[in-house]
Structure 1
Amino acid sequence: MLSWPTYVPFTAAALLGGALLWTPGVPLMAVCALALIGAVIAAVHHAEVVAHRVGEPFGTLVLAVAITVIEVALIVSMMLAGGEDKATLPRDTIFSAVMIISTGVVGLCLLVGGLHHHEQTFQLDGASSALAALVALAGLSLVLPSFTTSAGVGLYTVSQLAFVAVSSLVLWAVFVFVQTVRHRDYFLPPTNASDEDTHAAPPTVAQAWVSFGLLLVSLVSVVGLAKQLSPSIESGVAAMGAPKAVIGIAIALLVLLPETWAAVRAARADRLQASMNLALGSALASIGLTIPAVVLVSVLLDLPLVLGLAPKDLVLLMLSFLVSTITLATGRTNVMQGAVHLVLFAAFLFLSLVP
């Protein structure tokens, strides 16, 4: 355990402490950016150790929930600091996370897996359940506010917010119950998996607990350093003249780095089932946990919260769901599906910069 994954999280945490104590200059910010990348890689390593100990699908659930909780903390802290100026930040970040995962992460996994293994398979029952829940959650949280009439455009009333928050939390909890208890077999990899990690001896209980602790340190460091770098990101966005929604994209990209790395590595190792579990589970957790948290903060502190998407974003979201339904309908994937998803991801990024 005394190797680079042990030292990097504490180094990143120390640099985060230095950035909080002193006004960071350009050299310190550059070092913090490198520490952020190192913490991401360390987080993936320790998540894989925990995952190998507890098995699927609990392993991927650990990383998805841990990162989503930290994402919620980052969004809420920025809401409290920004006030009315951050009314659309939760929407932009959640929408960006869903688009990044459903087009970018899934597309990259399918492309990398297809290039290395020609064709891959996954459990269709689990993927279809997750995708159905994701469509429902996104529709209630991001689509309907643009069409309801009780409040302004893109807004929910307090009662509507409460309903959506409870519905999101309940639907996510039911999915976790199905994934881990009721129909756990829907999310297990094929029994003939040939990846060497599948057959390697699992780590000891002590090693798993140490890795879990280091995973938390790594994730806190990732989000803390991302928050320290966010003013530089905002300045860069303003200098480019890009829309404010780009800030939400940048936050989602930073927070989702560990999950992306882990999902792509799993696909390259011919463990596409783990990639699908991580990607779709992360998208569900991103909505199911974030919406209740931001609604609670908005209602208790009387902060404005705009959830409804603009027409362009509505079309992109619906297009990504339609393509996901088609490409994941057979349980067999190749590079073509990956290319389609990645083209949609490129369109999302391009139209965010050039709306």
Structure 2
Amino acid sequence: MSAHAAMPRSAWIFPTLAVLLFAAVTATHYDFTPSTVGLLFAAVLLVILFGTVFAAVHHAEVIAHRVGEPYGTLLLTLSVTIIEVALIATIMLGEKEVPTLARDTVFAVVMIVCNGLVGICIFIGGLQYREQDFQVPGANLYLSVLFTLATITLVLPNYTLTTPGPVFSEAQLEFVSVATILLYGVFLYTQTSRHRDYFIKENADAAEGGAPISSAMLGLSVVLLLLSLLAVVLLSKKFSLVVEAATAAIGAPPAFAGVVVALLILLPESVAAVSAARKNDLQKSINLALGSSLATIGLTVPAVSVAAFTLNKQLVLGLNGQNMVELLLTFILSMLTFGTGRTNILFGLVHMVVFAIFIFLVFVP
């Protein structure tokens, strides 16, 4: 949506409804249970929650038009990461502990983004334009940081000796958290300052990213963005209860909860990325997709680690053998896809097939 267009009603209605819903359940001390009333509440909660997440992304996009690229895409990514951390921490550290949720969600985000979202964007763009171009140096920077972060947080815990099993010791977790934040911070400096041209479409109009909006509209979007993020954080506890009930009702494995959380937080960015691919701006699609993967690992893992350490909860990060094979396949495929600077429908289809395999193996491991 253009920054010049009037603000849609949903952009302020859903954040307002989310705050009102939280106030209502808090005042009445409502506790979700799987019943007719509970199902009705779950439906209302999911609609409001999805709407509020989309509203948050809309306001981030409005602000992004003022600040331009790549800062606009960065703002979108950071906004969604705040929502993700809130949902993961709430479910993982709730009454029914799920120590593997952070691992499952981070892994799901990587698979959904690097295979599902990337595959759909490339496939749709290939159908419409045959081939699409992007900046190879920028893609290589994304992949080098992503592969490193994913390996040290999701694979390395299986092979440390200080503590048995797929967990880091406290010292190891602290060191890895600092390393991931440092690496992500240097990447942001590279993206926004040092090598900003690596992440901008070569033939992009210089004025395209800086569409002017009124100061009043900008201020309103900033307020509503903060309100939307706060509302999602407040409702995350009730959402965690709904996810737990749904997982138990369908007999899904624990990894299902991670996929649900990942899908919720990635949906708005996915819509924006697919829209960009349809407009022949695959560079923006890549910035949104790979940027969200980096932010998920670079920010979510340290934040959840702090929460787990503060509350004295165990944090399981290491993937099982099957998931590590899927991750390795994703790494190799991504290097081939982003190695030439041009894409076509076959690259997209291969990524989509790998994503389908990932989803199938969640339910039939």
Instruction: With the length of structure 1 as denominator, give the TM-score of the two structures.
Output: 0.92
**What residue number does 1:29 align with?**
42
Instruction: Give the counterpart of 1:139 among 137, 145, 151.
Output: 151
**What residue number does 2:63 align with?**
50
Residue 130 (1) aligns with residue 136 (2): no
Q: What secondary structure, in the 3-state scheme, does the structure 2 residue paired with 1:289 have?
A: helix
Change (3 A) 1:304 1:201: closer
| Structure 1 residue 337 displacement after superposition | 1.5
Change (3 A) 1:148 1:200: closer
Instruction: Give the counterpart of 2:120 among 98, 108, 115.
Output: 108
**What residue number does 2:309 align with?**
299
| Structure 1 residue 224 displacement after superposition | 4.4
Residue 11 (1) aligns with residue 23 (2): no
Q: Which moved more, 1:327-336 or 1:38-47?
A: 38-47
Change (3 A) 1:285 1:90: same
Structure 2, unpaired ranges of 5+? 1-5
Which amino acid counterpart does residue 217 of structure 2 have in structure 1?
Answer: Q
**What residue number does 2:3 align with?**
none
**What residue number does 2:109 align with?**
97
| Structure 1 residue 247 displacement after superposition | 0.8
| Structure 1 residue 171 displacement after superposition | 0.4
**What residue number does 1:214 align with?**
224
Residue 178 (1) aligns with residue 190 (2): yes
Q: Which moved more, 1:231-240 or 1:277-286?
A: 231-240
Query: Residue 57 of structure 2 contacts residue 268 of structure 2 at CA under 8 Å; is this kept in 1?
Result: yes
Change (3 A) 1:191 1:207: farther
Query: Residue 104 of structure 2 contacts residue 259 of structure 2 at CA under 8 Å; is this kept in 1?
Result: yes
**What residue number does 2:330 align with?**
320
Change (3 A) 1:93 1:82: farther
Instruction: Give the counterpart of 2:133 among 116, 121, 124.
Output: 121
Instruction: Give the counterpart of 1:81 among 85, 88, 94.
Output: 94
Change (3 A) 1:280 1:42: same
Instruction: Give the counterpart of 2:342 among 326, 329, 332.
Output: 332
Q: What secondary structure, in the 3-state scheme, does the structure 2 residue paired with 1:155 have?
A: coil
**What residue number does 1:239 align with?**
249
* Alpha-carbon separation, structure 1, partners of 2:73 and 2:166: 33
CA root-mean-square deviation = 2.2
* Alpha-carbon separation, structure 1, partners of 2:288 and 2:7: 28
**What residue number does 1:286 align with?**
296
| Structure 1 residue 107 displacement after superposition | 1.3
Deviation readout 1:303-342 (Å, 9 max, x if unpaired): 1111110001111111111111111111111222111111
Which amino acid counterpart does residue 121 of structure 1 have in structure 2?
Answer: D
Identity of paired residues, percent?
Answer: 47
Change (3 A) 1:234 1:77: closer
| Structure 1 residue 200 displacement after superposition | 8.7
Residue 165 (1) aligns with residue 177 (2): yes
Change (3 A) 1:234 1:90: same
Query: Residue 19 of structure 1 contacts residue 28 of structure 1 at CA under 8 Å; is this kept in 2?
Result: no
- Which 4+ runs in 1 deviate beyond 6 A? none
Query: Residue 68 of structure 2 contacts residue 210 of structure 2 at CA under 8 Å; is this kept in 1?
Result: no
Deviation readout 1:219-238 (Å, 9 max, x if unpaired): 34345445423323222222
Query: Residue 93 of structure 2 contacts residue 308 of structure 2 at CA under 8 Å; is this kept in 1?
Result: no
Aligned residue pair count: 352
Query: Residue 107 of structure 1 contacts residue 338 of structure 1 at CA under 8 Å; is this kept in 2?
Result: yes
* Alpha-carbon separation, structure 2, partners of 1:12 and 1:339: 38
* Alpha-carbon separation, structure 2, partners of 1:193 and 1:335: 27
* Alpha-carbon separation, structure 2, partners of 1:31 and 1:300: 33
Query: Residue 142 of structure 2 contacts residue 291 of structure 2 at CA under 8 Å; is this kept in 1?
Result: yes
Deviation readout 1:8-42 (Å, 9 max, x if unpaired): 32233323433444426333332222223322333
Change (3 A) 1:343 1:55: same
Q: Which moved more, 1:205-214 or 1:16-25?
A: 16-25
Which amino acid counterpart does residue 17 of structure 1 have in structure 2?
Answer: A
**What residue number does 1:351 align with?**
361
Q: What secondary structure, in the 3-state scheme, does the structure 1 residue paired with 2:339 have?
A: coil
| Structure 1 residue 81 displacement after superposition | 2.0
